[in-house]
Amino acid sequence: MQTLKDIKPGGIAKVIKIGGEGPVKRRIMEMGITKGVEIYVRKVAPLGDPMEINVRSYELSLRKADAGLIEVEEKEGNLYVN
């Protein structure tokens, strides 16, 4: 199982499943991260947390703890087209 926190900067991943329960899962989904959406990992902070991603044409900062709840499938290549 690969999660969003495992994707390196410049990588693209497709969301397979969102873990967590209740308010945490709802908050992730309210940010636009839903099953099937593609996420581009822009960069990771110098100390490793948070990470900056592009999802649904906007930029979002996400804590590594939350990124660890998002199961993804990494896509080949690292060219992101918005």
Kindly state whether residue 79 falls inside one of the protein's structural domains: no
Residue 81: inside a domain: no
The mean pLDDT value for 26-53 works out to: 91
42-77 tens-digit pLDDT: 999 988 789 999 999 899 999 999 999 999 998 876
Residue 50 lies in a domain: yes
Predicted confidence at residue 77, as pLDDT, reads 63
Examine residue 44 and state whether it is found in any structural domain, yes or no: yes
* 80 falls within a domain: no
> Domain span at residue 14?
4-74
The CATH number assigned to the domain holding 38 equals 2.30.30.90
Q: How many domains are there within the chain?
A: 1
Q: How far is CA 20 from CA 3, 33, 59, in A?
A: 13, 13, 22
Mean pLDDT within 19-27 = 90
Cα–Cα distance between 15 and 70 in angstroms, integer?
A: 7
